[in-house]
Amino acid sequence: MTTTKTKPPRRRARSTVLAGLLGGVLIMVAVLRQGAPIWSAVLGFAILAGYAALLFIFQARKDTIGTLAGNPVDERWGLINSRATELAATCAAVVAVGGYIVTEFAGRDNWQFALMAVVVGLSYLAGVVWFRRRL
Amino acid sequence: MQNDVRKLREQQTLSQGDLARHLGVSRQTVNAIETGKYLPSLPLALAIGRYFTKPVEEIFHDDDKD
């Protein structure tokens, strides 16, 4: 019986950093192709590159970096990861529903918020059905 | 829920890091268990009991019990 996972390999953190940088570059290129201002392309890059930089800066702290890289070092870090994911999902749901309501009142196009709210809601329902069978 | 992990560890003059290595968890997790911030899973509680050669219920007990 094992109680924990092994320590995350450094390669995993490196690949997460590289994936963040690559994603940032792809977003920047996509935004520039649409003729958008450079600052918006840089912002798109900065969001993902910032996350990658966070991983790089904290790489000395293996516990944190392992969790951020999606590989918690033990069960407590797994719980921390779950709680953080739960918090992020709650924020996403609030933004989706809140954004939909605000834009509806303003009479602006709001299909993106509606789509986001539907995806969050359906994925939550799917999660309940799935984990009810698995846990 | 209270526990005697710190007392048992100190009796064996182990550091939190030493115990963490034996249990395969991080030092912060051992600290969180000792301070009562984190309640370990059943497998980890059993591993702690096995390490100190004590039943789990002797190490982890209700708040109203010494």
Q: What is the ipTM of this complex?
A: 0.81
Average pLDDT value for residue range A82-101: 94
A62, A7 in Cβ contact below 8 A?
yes
A47 occurs within a structural domain: yes
> d(Cα A52, Cα A49) in Å, to the nearest integer?
5
List the domain boundaries for chain B: 2-61
Q: Does B56 touch chain A (CB under 8 A)?
A: no
How many angstroms separate the CA of residue B13 from the nearest CA in chain A?
Answer: 23
CA of A63 vs chain B CAs: smallest distance (Å): 7
Look up residue A87 and give its amino acid. L
Residue A3 lies in a domain: no
Domain containing A68 equals 9-73
The CATH class that applies to domain B2-61 reads mainly alpha
Give the distance, in angstroms, between the CA of residue A7 and the centroid of all CA atoms in the same chain: 22
Residue A2 has pLDDT above 50, yes or no: no
What pLDDT sits at residue B10? 96
Instruction: Output phi, psi for A23, to 5 deg.
Output: -60, -40
pLDDT tens for residues B5-42?
999 999 999 999 999 999 999 999 999 999 999 999 99
Query: What pTM value is reported for the model?
Result: 0.72
Domain count, chain A: 2
Single out the residue in A58, A73, A88 at which a domain terminates. Answer: A73
* Residues whose CB is less than 8 angstroms from the CB of residue B55 and which lie 6 or more positions away in sequence, other chains included: B49
Residue-wise pLDDT for A20-61, tens only, equals 888 889 988 998 898 888 898 899 889 888 888 877 777 666
Q: Are residues A59 and A108 in the same domain?
A: no
At residue B24, the pLDDT reads: 93
Interfacial B residues in 3-22 facing A (CB < 8 Å): none
Angle made by CA atoms A72, A127, A131, in degrees to the nearest 5: 75
Cβ(A40)–Cβ(A1) below 8 Å? no
Please tell me the distance from the alpha carbon of residue A28 to that of residue A62, in angstroms, as a whole number: 30
